[in-house]
Structure 1
Amino acid sequence: MKLKLLAKPIAVIGITLIGTILFILLSQPNQPSSKTDPMARSFVLWLHGLGDSGPANEPIKTLFSSPEFRNTVWSFPSAPSNPVTCNYGSVMPSWFDIHEIPVTADSPKDESSVLKAVQNVHAMIDKEIAAGTDPNNVFVCGFSQGGALTLASILLYPKTLGGGAVFSGWLPFNTSIIEQISSNAKRTPILWSHGMADRTVLFEAGQAGPPFLERAGLSCEFKAYPGLGHSISHEELQHLESWIKTRLQSSS
Protein backbone atom coordinates (compact mmCIF):
# COMPACT_ATOMS: atom_id res chain seq x y z
CA MET A 1 0.00 0.00 0.00
CA LYS A 2 2.54 2.53 -1.15
CA LEU A 3 1.51 6.09 -1.78
CA LYS A 4 0.94 6.87 -5.44
CA LEU A 5 0.98 10.57 -6.11
CA LEU A 6 -1.29 11.66 -8.94
CA ALA A 7 -0.39 15.07 -10.24
CA LYS A 8 -0.57 17.29 -13.28
CA PRO A 9 2.39 16.96 -15.71
CA ILE A 10 4.13 20.03 -14.33
CA ALA A 11 3.93 18.59 -10.81
CA VAL A 12 5.35 15.28 -12.01
CA ILE A 13 8.33 17.11 -13.48
CA GLY A 14 8.80 18.90 -10.18
CA ILE A 15 8.86 15.60 -8.31
CA THR A 16 11.33 14.12 -10.80
CA LEU A 17 13.70 16.98 -10.11
CA ILE A 18 13.24 16.86 -6.34
CA GLY A 19 16.78 15.61 -5.70
CA THR A 20 18.30 18.58 -7.53
CA ILE A 21 15.91 21.03 -5.92
CA LEU A 22 16.63 19.77 -2.42
CA PHE A 23 20.38 19.93 -3.06
CA ILE A 24 20.10 23.56 -4.12
CA LEU A 25 17.92 24.47 -1.16
CA LEU A 26 20.10 22.68 1.36
CA SER A 27 23.23 24.28 -0.09
CA GLN A 28 22.02 27.77 0.80
CA PRO A 29 23.27 29.06 4.17
CA ASN A 30 20.60 29.96 6.68
CA GLN A 31 20.48 33.71 6.99
CA PRO A 32 19.01 35.22 10.15
CA SER A 33 16.00 37.38 9.44
CA SER A 34 16.04 40.98 10.55
CA LYS A 35 12.27 41.04 10.79
CA THR A 36 10.09 39.32 13.35
CA ASP A 37 8.39 36.30 11.80
CA PRO A 38 4.74 36.16 12.90
CA MET A 39 4.48 32.45 12.17
CA ALA A 40 5.46 30.14 15.00
CA ARG A 41 7.28 26.86 14.49
CA SER A 42 5.01 24.04 13.31
CA PHE A 43 5.47 20.31 12.85
CA VAL A 44 4.03 17.92 10.27
CA LEU A 45 4.56 14.21 10.85
CA TRP A 46 3.82 12.04 7.80
CA LEU A 47 3.24 8.29 8.22
CA HIS A 48 3.60 6.17 5.07
CA GLY A 49 1.70 3.09 3.96
CA LEU A 50 2.53 -0.61 4.12
CA GLY A 51 5.78 -1.54 2.37
CA ASP A 52 6.75 2.07 1.72
CA SER A 53 9.37 4.30 3.35
CA GLY A 54 9.60 7.76 4.83
CA PRO A 55 12.20 9.16 2.37
CA ALA A 56 10.06 8.08 -0.59
CA ASN A 57 7.33 10.43 0.63
CA GLU A 58 9.48 13.48 1.28
CA PRO A 59 8.60 15.17 -2.07
CA ILE A 60 5.17 15.85 -0.56
CA LYS A 61 6.55 18.75 1.45
CA THR A 62 7.65 20.57 -1.70
CA LEU A 63 4.00 21.02 -2.66
CA PHE A 64 3.36 23.09 0.46
CA SER A 65 4.76 26.37 -0.85
CA SER A 66 2.61 28.83 1.10
CA PRO A 67 4.60 31.21 3.33
CA GLU A 68 2.76 29.82 6.35
CA PHE A 69 4.96 26.72 6.05
CA ARG A 70 8.32 28.50 6.12
CA ASN A 71 8.78 27.58 9.79
CA THR A 72 7.44 24.05 9.45
CA VAL A 73 9.53 21.07 10.50
CA TRP A 74 8.66 17.97 8.47
CA SER A 75 9.27 14.41 9.59
CA PHE A 76 8.97 11.32 7.38
CA PRO A 77 9.90 8.33 9.56
CA SER A 78 10.11 4.80 8.17
CA ALA A 79 8.24 1.90 9.71
CA PRO A 80 10.26 -1.02 11.13
CA SER A 81 10.36 -4.28 9.19
CA ASN A 82 7.83 -6.79 10.48
CA PRO A 83 6.08 -9.94 9.22
CA VAL A 84 2.65 -9.07 7.78
CA THR A 85 -0.17 -11.62 7.91
CA CYS A 86 -2.03 -10.43 4.80
CA ASN A 87 1.16 -10.92 2.78
CA TYR A 88 1.69 -14.51 3.99
CA GLY A 89 4.05 -13.47 6.75
CA SER A 90 6.49 -11.66 4.47
CA VAL A 91 8.73 -9.20 6.27
CA MET A 92 8.35 -5.61 5.09
CA PRO A 93 8.12 -2.06 6.43
CA SER A 94 4.93 -2.11 8.50
CA TRP A 95 3.71 -0.05 11.44
CA PHE A 96 1.48 -2.90 12.69
CA ASP A 97 0.06 -6.20 11.48
CA ILE A 98 -2.73 -6.33 8.88
CA HIS A 99 -4.74 -9.52 8.64
CA GLU A 100 -6.45 -9.12 5.28
CA ILE A 101 -6.48 -7.15 2.05
CA PRO A 102 -8.71 -5.55 0.94
CA VAL A 103 -9.45 -3.86 4.22
CA THR A 104 -13.18 -3.60 4.84
CA ALA A 105 -15.24 -1.99 7.57
CA ASP A 106 -15.39 -5.37 9.32
CA SER A 107 -11.78 -6.53 8.88
CA PRO A 108 -10.13 -8.05 11.97
CA LYS A 109 -7.97 -5.64 13.96
CA ASP A 110 -4.65 -6.31 15.67
CA GLU A 111 -5.01 -3.76 18.45
CA SER A 112 -1.93 -4.84 20.41
CA SER A 113 0.46 -4.09 17.54
CA VAL A 114 -1.41 -0.85 16.78
CA LEU A 115 -0.99 0.34 20.37
CA LYS A 116 2.74 -0.46 20.24
CA ALA A 117 3.07 1.66 17.11
CA VAL A 118 1.09 4.46 18.73
CA GLN A 119 3.65 4.64 21.54
CA ASN A 120 6.40 5.25 18.99
CA VAL A 121 4.41 8.01 17.28
CA HIS A 122 3.69 9.65 20.62
CA ALA A 123 7.43 9.66 21.36
CA MET A 124 8.05 11.56 18.11
CA ILE A 125 5.37 14.11 19.00
CA ASP A 126 6.65 14.49 22.57
CA LYS A 127 10.18 15.14 21.28
CA GLU A 128 8.97 17.94 19.00
CA ILE A 129 6.86 19.56 21.71
CA ALA A 130 9.83 19.38 24.07
CA ALA A 131 11.83 21.24 21.40
CA GLY A 132 9.42 24.15 21.71
CA THR A 133 6.61 23.51 19.23
CA ASP A 134 3.13 24.43 20.43
CA PRO A 135 0.93 21.27 20.44
CA ASN A 136 -1.66 23.30 18.49
CA ASN A 137 0.87 23.52 15.65
CA VAL A 138 1.48 19.76 15.51
CA PHE A 139 -0.18 17.88 12.66
CA VAL A 140 -0.08 14.13 12.08
CA CYS A 141 -0.91 12.88 8.57
CA GLY A 142 -0.85 9.42 7.06
CA PHE A 143 -1.72 7.37 4.02
CA SER A 144 -3.33 3.90 4.13
CA GLN A 145 -1.78 1.99 7.06
CA GLY A 146 -0.16 5.28 8.06
CA GLY A 147 -3.60 6.87 8.00
CA ALA A 148 -4.96 4.24 10.35
CA LEU A 149 -1.99 4.81 12.68
CA THR A 150 -2.52 8.57 12.44
CA LEU A 151 -6.08 8.15 13.68
CA ALA A 152 -5.09 5.91 16.59
CA SER A 153 -2.23 8.21 17.57
CA ILE A 154 -4.40 11.34 17.57
CA LEU A 155 -7.21 9.75 19.56
CA LEU A 156 -4.90 8.38 22.24
CA TYR A 157 -2.65 11.42 22.62
CA PRO A 158 -3.26 13.22 25.96
CA LYS A 159 -3.07 16.74 24.49
CA THR A 160 -5.04 18.68 21.89
CA LEU A 161 -3.05 18.86 18.65
CA GLY A 162 -3.44 21.03 15.57
CA GLY A 163 -5.04 18.20 13.62
CA GLY A 164 -4.86 14.74 12.13
CA ALA A 165 -5.27 13.94 8.43
CA VAL A 166 -6.22 10.43 7.28
CA PHE A 167 -5.85 9.45 3.62
CA SER A 168 -7.34 6.12 2.49
CA GLY A 169 -7.19 4.86 6.07
CA TRP A 170 -9.46 2.86 8.34
CA LEU A 171 -10.39 2.34 11.98
CA PRO A 172 -7.66 0.03 13.39
CA PHE A 173 -9.45 -0.62 16.67
CA ASN A 174 -12.82 -1.53 18.18
CA THR A 175 -15.36 0.75 19.84
CA SER A 176 -13.88 0.00 23.28
CA ILE A 177 -11.16 2.58 22.54
CA ILE A 178 -13.72 5.37 22.98
CA GLU A 179 -13.33 5.04 26.74
CA GLN A 180 -9.61 5.83 26.41
CA ILE A 181 -10.04 9.08 24.45
CA SER A 182 -9.33 12.08 26.67
CA SER A 183 -11.30 15.33 26.60
CA ASN A 184 -8.20 17.06 25.18
CA ALA A 185 -7.90 14.58 22.32
CA LYS A 186 -11.55 15.11 21.44
CA ARG A 187 -10.74 18.72 20.57
CA THR A 188 -8.24 17.71 17.86
CA PRO A 189 -9.88 18.12 14.42
CA ILE A 190 -9.70 15.29 11.87
CA LEU A 191 -9.59 15.49 8.08
CA TRP A 192 -10.49 12.20 6.35
CA SER A 193 -10.04 11.78 2.58
CA HIS A 194 -10.85 8.60 0.66
CA GLY A 195 -11.04 7.55 -2.99
CA MET A 196 -14.38 6.05 -3.99
CA ALA A 197 -12.64 3.61 -6.36
CA ASP A 198 -10.25 2.28 -3.70
CA ARG A 199 -9.93 -1.52 -4.01
CA THR A 200 -7.27 -1.94 -1.30
CA VAL A 201 -8.89 -0.10 1.60
CA LEU A 202 -12.50 -0.14 0.51
CA PHE A 203 -14.47 3.09 0.52
CA GLU A 204 -16.85 1.52 3.05
CA ALA A 205 -13.93 1.27 5.48
CA GLY A 206 -13.39 4.99 5.14
CA GLN A 207 -17.08 5.77 5.47
CA ALA A 208 -17.15 3.99 8.83
CA GLY A 209 -14.76 6.57 10.27
CA PRO A 210 -16.85 9.76 10.64
CA PRO A 211 -19.79 8.11 12.46
CA PHE A 212 -17.36 6.49 14.90
CA LEU A 213 -15.59 9.80 15.52
CA GLU A 214 -18.91 11.59 15.96
CA ARG A 215 -19.95 9.08 18.62
CA ALA A 216 -16.59 9.62 20.32
CA GLY A 217 -17.17 13.37 20.37
CA LEU A 218 -14.65 14.47 17.73
CA SER A 219 -15.00 16.77 14.74
CA CYS A 220 -14.29 15.15 11.37
CA GLU A 221 -14.37 16.56 7.85
CA PHE A 222 -14.86 13.71 5.37
CA LYS A 223 -14.07 14.20 1.69
CA ALA A 224 -14.85 11.57 -0.95
CA TYR A 225 -12.99 11.58 -4.27
CA PRO A 226 -14.88 9.92 -7.18
CA GLY A 227 -12.71 7.78 -9.43
CA LEU A 228 -9.71 7.84 -7.11
CA GLY A 229 -8.19 4.45 -6.26
CA HIS A 230 -5.73 3.57 -3.52
CA SER A 231 -3.53 6.59 -3.96
CA ILE A 232 -3.35 10.22 -2.98
CA SER A 233 -4.08 12.98 -5.47
CA HIS A 234 -2.68 16.45 -5.96
CA GLU A 235 -6.17 17.77 -5.19
CA GLU A 236 -6.14 16.07 -1.78
CA LEU A 237 -2.77 17.57 -0.91
CA GLN A 238 -3.90 21.03 -1.99
CA HIS A 239 -6.86 20.75 0.35
CA LEU A 240 -4.59 19.50 3.14
CA GLU A 241 -2.38 22.58 2.71
CA SER A 242 -5.39 24.90 3.07
CA TRP A 243 -6.77 22.85 5.97
CA ILE A 244 -3.53 23.11 7.93
CA LYS A 245 -3.05 26.81 7.10
CA THR A 246 -6.36 27.72 8.69
CA ARG A 247 -5.31 26.00 11.91
CA LEU A 248 -1.76 27.24 12.33
CA GLN A 249 -1.17 29.43 15.37
CA SER A 250 0.95 32.57 15.06
CA SER A 251 3.77 33.42 17.47
CA SER A 252 2.00 36.56 18.65
Structure 2
Amino acid sequence: MANNRSFIVRLHGLGDSGPANEPIKSLFTSPEFKNTTWSFPSAPSNSVTCNNGAVMPSWFDVHELPVTANSPKDESGVLKAVQTVHAIIDKEIAAGTDPNNVFVCGFSQGGALTLASVLLYPKSLGGGAVFGGFVPFSSSMVEKISPNAKRTPILWSHGMADTTVLFEAGQVGPPFLAHVGVSCEFKAYPDLDHSISNEELRYLESWIKTYLGGTSPVICIGL
Protein backbone atom coordinates (compact mmCIF):
# COMPACT_ATOMS: atom_id res chain seq x y z
CA MET A 1 0.00 0.00 0.00
CA ALA A 2 1.13 3.57 -0.70
CA ASN A 3 0.85 4.53 2.97
CA ASN A 4 3.47 1.92 3.88
CA ARG A 5 6.18 3.12 1.55
CA SER A 6 8.39 6.18 1.48
CA PHE A 7 9.31 8.33 -1.48
CA ILE A 8 12.35 10.61 -1.38
CA VAL A 9 12.92 13.33 -3.97
CA ARG A 10 16.35 14.91 -3.71
CA LEU A 11 16.59 18.50 -4.99
CA HIS A 12 20.21 19.37 -5.67
CA GLY A 13 21.97 22.69 -5.11
CA LEU A 14 23.17 25.39 -7.50
CA GLY A 15 25.17 24.04 -10.45
CA ASP A 16 24.74 20.43 -9.38
CA SER A 17 22.72 17.57 -10.84
CA GLY A 18 20.33 15.08 -9.37
CA PRO A 19 22.13 11.86 -10.38
CA ALA A 20 25.42 13.11 -8.88
CA ASN A 21 23.83 12.95 -5.44
CA GLU A 22 22.52 9.39 -5.51
CA PRO A 23 25.11 8.11 -2.95
CA ILE A 24 23.07 9.71 -0.15
CA LYS A 25 20.79 6.69 -0.37
CA SER A 26 23.39 4.57 1.41
CA LEU A 27 23.28 6.77 4.54
CA PHE A 28 19.63 6.08 5.34
CA THR A 29 20.06 2.62 6.81
CA SER A 30 17.31 2.48 9.45
CA PRO A 31 14.61 -0.16 8.92
CA GLU A 32 12.04 2.61 8.47
CA PHE A 33 13.62 3.38 5.09
CA LYS A 34 13.77 -0.16 3.73
CA ASN A 35 10.87 0.49 1.34
CA THR A 36 12.06 3.91 0.25
CA THR A 37 11.94 4.90 -3.40
CA TRP A 38 14.29 7.72 -4.42
CA SER A 39 14.05 10.30 -7.18
CA PHE A 40 16.85 12.68 -8.18
CA PRO A 41 15.49 15.37 -10.52
CA SER A 42 17.78 17.98 -12.03
CA ALA A 43 17.02 21.69 -12.12
CA PRO A 44 16.60 23.42 -15.49
CA SER A 45 19.54 25.41 -16.81
CA ASN A 46 19.22 29.11 -16.09
CA SER A 47 21.37 32.22 -16.16
CA VAL A 48 22.68 32.87 -12.64
CA THR A 49 23.47 36.45 -11.65
CA CYS A 50 26.01 35.65 -8.92
CA ASN A 51 28.08 33.73 -11.47
CA ASN A 52 28.19 36.57 -13.99
CA GLY A 53 25.16 35.30 -15.86
CA ALA A 54 26.61 31.87 -16.58
CA VAL A 55 24.03 29.26 -17.49
CA MET A 56 23.90 26.31 -15.11
CA PRO A 57 21.42 24.06 -13.30
CA SER A 58 19.55 26.34 -10.90
CA TRP A 59 16.11 26.21 -9.33
CA PHE A 60 15.97 30.02 -9.23
CA ASP A 61 18.33 32.98 -9.55
CA VAL A 62 20.88 33.79 -6.85
CA HIS A 63 21.86 37.44 -7.05
CA GLU A 64 25.00 37.52 -4.93
CA LEU A 65 27.55 35.46 -3.06
CA PRO A 66 27.97 35.19 -0.23
CA VAL A 67 24.27 35.09 0.57
CA THR A 68 23.60 37.36 3.53
CA ALA A 69 20.56 38.05 5.68
CA ASN A 70 19.69 40.95 3.36
CA SER A 71 20.55 39.54 -0.08
CA PRO A 72 18.13 40.28 -2.95
CA LYS A 73 15.52 37.59 -3.56
CA ASP A 74 14.22 36.06 -6.79
CA GLU A 75 10.68 35.53 -5.56
CA SER A 76 9.16 34.82 -8.99
CA GLY A 77 11.81 32.18 -9.68
CA VAL A 78 11.28 30.62 -6.28
CA LEU A 79 7.53 30.39 -6.82
CA LYS A 80 8.09 28.66 -10.16
CA ALA A 81 10.44 26.14 -8.55
CA VAL A 82 7.95 25.57 -5.72
CA GLN A 83 5.38 24.49 -8.31
CA THR A 84 7.81 21.79 -9.46
CA VAL A 85 8.23 20.45 -5.93
CA HIS A 86 4.50 20.64 -5.23
CA ALA A 87 3.77 18.65 -8.38
CA ILE A 88 6.07 15.88 -7.15
CA ILE A 89 4.35 15.82 -3.76
CA ASP A 90 0.86 16.05 -5.28
CA LYS A 91 1.50 13.03 -7.49
CA GLU A 92 2.49 10.89 -4.52
CA ILE A 93 -0.39 12.08 -2.36
CA ALA A 94 -2.80 11.34 -5.22
CA ALA A 95 -1.41 7.81 -5.20
CA GLY A 96 -2.55 7.45 -1.61
CA THR A 97 0.29 8.64 0.62
CA ASP A 98 -0.74 10.61 3.71
CA PRO A 99 0.56 14.22 3.45
CA ASN A 100 1.50 13.98 7.15
CA ASN A 101 4.17 11.51 6.03
CA VAL A 102 5.72 13.99 3.59
CA PHE A 103 9.09 15.52 4.56
CA VAL A 104 10.88 18.16 2.50
CA CYS A 105 14.60 18.68 3.11
CA GLY A 106 17.32 20.66 1.37
CA PHE A 107 20.82 22.16 1.40
CA SER A 108 21.79 25.70 0.35
CA GLN A 109 19.61 26.73 -2.62
CA GLY A 110 17.73 23.49 -2.01
CA GLY A 111 17.25 24.53 1.61
CA ALA A 112 15.71 27.80 0.55
CA LEU A 113 13.46 25.93 -1.88
CA THR A 114 12.57 23.49 0.90
CA LEU A 115 11.42 26.31 3.15
CA ALA A 116 9.31 27.89 0.41
CA SER A 117 7.83 24.57 -0.69
CA VAL A 118 6.76 23.57 2.83
CA LEU A 119 5.38 26.96 3.82
CA LEU A 120 3.43 27.42 0.59
CA TYR A 121 1.99 23.91 0.42
CA PRO A 122 -1.77 23.97 1.18
CA LYS A 123 -1.65 20.97 3.51
CA SER A 124 0.23 20.16 6.70
CA LEU A 125 3.26 17.98 5.97
CA GLY A 126 5.39 15.80 8.23
CA GLY A 127 8.27 18.28 8.38
CA GLY A 128 10.86 20.29 6.51
CA ALA A 129 14.63 20.34 7.07
CA VAL A 130 16.87 23.20 5.91
CA PHE A 131 20.66 22.80 5.77
CA GLY A 132 22.83 25.85 5.07
CA GLY A 133 19.81 27.58 3.57
CA PHE A 134 18.17 30.98 3.65
CA VAL A 135 14.77 32.64 3.56
CA PRO A 136 14.07 33.12 -0.18
CA PHE A 137 11.20 35.60 0.00
CA SER A 138 10.10 38.71 1.87
CA SER A 139 7.66 38.97 4.76
CA SER A 140 4.95 39.91 2.25
CA MET A 141 4.75 36.20 1.36
CA VAL A 142 3.50 35.38 4.87
CA GLU A 143 -0.11 36.07 3.88
CA LYS A 144 0.09 33.17 1.42
CA ILE A 145 0.96 30.64 4.14
CA SER A 146 -2.06 28.56 5.07
CA PRO A 147 -3.01 27.58 8.64
CA ASN A 148 -2.34 23.96 7.68
CA ALA A 149 1.21 24.74 6.51
CA LYS A 150 1.95 26.48 9.82
CA ARG A 151 1.59 23.12 11.56
CA THR A 152 4.56 21.65 9.66
CA PRO A 153 7.67 21.54 11.91
CA ILE A 154 11.05 22.75 10.62
CA LEU A 155 14.58 21.55 11.37
CA TRP A 156 17.20 24.19 10.49
CA SER A 157 20.92 23.34 10.56
CA HIS A 158 23.71 25.74 9.60
CA GLY A 159 27.51 25.72 9.70
CA MET A 160 28.99 28.65 11.58
CA ALA A 161 32.03 28.59 9.27
CA ASP A 162 29.89 28.89 6.13
CA THR A 163 31.31 31.58 3.81
CA THR A 164 28.87 30.95 0.94
CA VAL A 165 25.53 31.24 2.73
CA LEU A 166 26.61 33.17 5.80
CA PHE A 167 25.56 31.99 9.24
CA GLU A 168 23.67 35.27 9.64
CA ALA A 169 21.45 34.24 6.72
CA GLY A 170 20.55 31.07 8.60
CA GLN A 171 20.03 32.88 11.89
CA VAL A 172 17.15 34.94 10.51
CA GLY A 173 15.23 31.74 9.74
CA PRO A 174 13.99 30.84 13.25
CA PRO A 175 12.68 34.33 14.14
CA PHE A 176 11.01 34.54 10.72
CA LEU A 177 9.31 31.20 11.36
CA ALA A 178 8.38 32.22 14.90
CA HIS A 179 6.68 35.30 13.47
CA VAL A 180 4.79 33.08 11.04
CA GLY A 181 3.82 30.71 13.84
CA VAL A 182 5.85 27.70 12.70
CA SER A 183 7.81 25.48 15.11
CA CYS A 184 11.56 25.43 14.35
CA GLU A 185 14.50 23.55 15.85
CA PHE A 186 17.79 25.34 15.05
CA LYS A 187 21.14 23.54 15.20
CA ALA A 188 24.46 25.38 14.76
CA TYR A 189 27.64 23.50 13.80
CA PRO A 190 30.73 25.58 14.85
CA ASP A 191 33.33 24.15 12.44
CA LEU A 192 31.11 23.35 9.47
CA ASP A 193 31.58 25.25 6.21
CA HIS A 194 29.20 25.30 3.23
CA SER A 195 28.61 21.58 3.15
CA ILE A 196 26.46 18.97 4.80
CA SER A 197 28.05 16.55 7.22
CA ASN A 198 27.32 12.92 7.98
CA GLU A 199 26.52 14.06 11.52
CA GLU A 200 23.74 16.28 10.17
CA LEU A 201 22.38 13.48 8.00
CA ARG A 202 22.37 11.05 10.92
CA TYR A 203 20.41 13.56 12.95
CA LEU A 204 18.05 14.12 10.02
CA GLU A 205 17.36 10.39 9.89
CA SER A 206 16.49 10.28 13.59
CA TRP A 207 14.50 13.52 13.37
CA ILE A 208 12.35 12.14 10.56
CA LYS A 209 11.72 8.94 12.51
CA THR A 210 10.28 10.93 15.44
CA TYR A 211 7.50 12.15 13.15
CA LEU A 212 6.72 8.92 11.33
CA GLY A 213 3.99 7.61 13.61
CA GLY A 214 4.40 4.06 12.40
CA THR A 215 4.29 4.75 8.66
CA SER A 216 6.98 5.70 6.20
CA PRO A 217 7.36 9.25 4.84
CA VAL A 218 7.57 10.92 1.51
CA ILE A 219 10.76 12.98 1.71
CA CYS A 220 12.08 15.66 -0.64
CA ILE A 221 15.77 16.28 -0.03
CA GLY A 222 17.61 19.12 -1.74
CA LEU A 223 21.37 19.06 -1.34
Aligning the two structures, in what range does the TM-score lie when normalised by the shorter sequence? over 0.9
Tell me the distance in 1 between the aligned counterparts of 2:33 and 2:106. 18
Partner of 1:78: 42
Tell me the distance in 1 between the aligned counterparts of 2:76 and 2:99. 26
- How does 1:137-216 map onto structure 2 within 5 Å? 137-216=101-180
- How does 1:26-65 map onto structure 2 within 5 Å? 40-65=4-29
Tell me the distance in 2 between the aligned counterparts of 1:218 and 1:76. 28
Partner of 1:242: 206
Tell me the distance in 2 between the aligned counterparts of 1:214 and 1:152. 15
Tell me the distance in 2 between the aligned counterparts of 1:150 and 1:115. 11
Tell me the distance in 1 between the aligned counterparts of 2:93 and 2:26. 23
TM-score by length of structure 2 reads 0.93
Tell me the distance in 1 between the aligned counterparts of 2:6 and 2:152. 15
In the alignment, residue 134 of structure 1 is paired with which amino acid?
D
Partner SS state of residue 232, structure 1: coil
- On the 8 A contact 1:43/1:133 being kept in 2, the answer is no
Deviates more, 1:92-101 or 1:68-77: 68-77
Partner SS state of residue 4, structure 2: coil
Partner of 1:87: 51
Corresponding position: 1:223 with 2:187 = yes
Divergent runs of 4+, >6 A: none
In the alignment, residue 44 of structure 1 is paired with which amino acid?
I
Alignment length, in residue pairs?
214
CA apart distance, 1:132: 1.8
RMSD over equivalenced CA pairs, Å: 1.3
CA apart distance, 1:216: 0.2
Tell me the distance in 1 between the aligned counterparts of 2:11 and 2:190. 24
Partner SS state of residue 69, structure 2: coil
Tell me the distance in 2 between the aligned counterparts of 1:240 and 1:169. 15
Greater Rg by CA: 1
Q: 5+ unaligned residues in a row in structure 2: which ranges?
A: 216-223
> Greater relative contact order (Cα 8 A, min sep 6): structure 1 or 2?
2
Tell me the distance in 2 between the aligned counterparts of 1:74 and 1:198. 28
Partner of 1:33: none
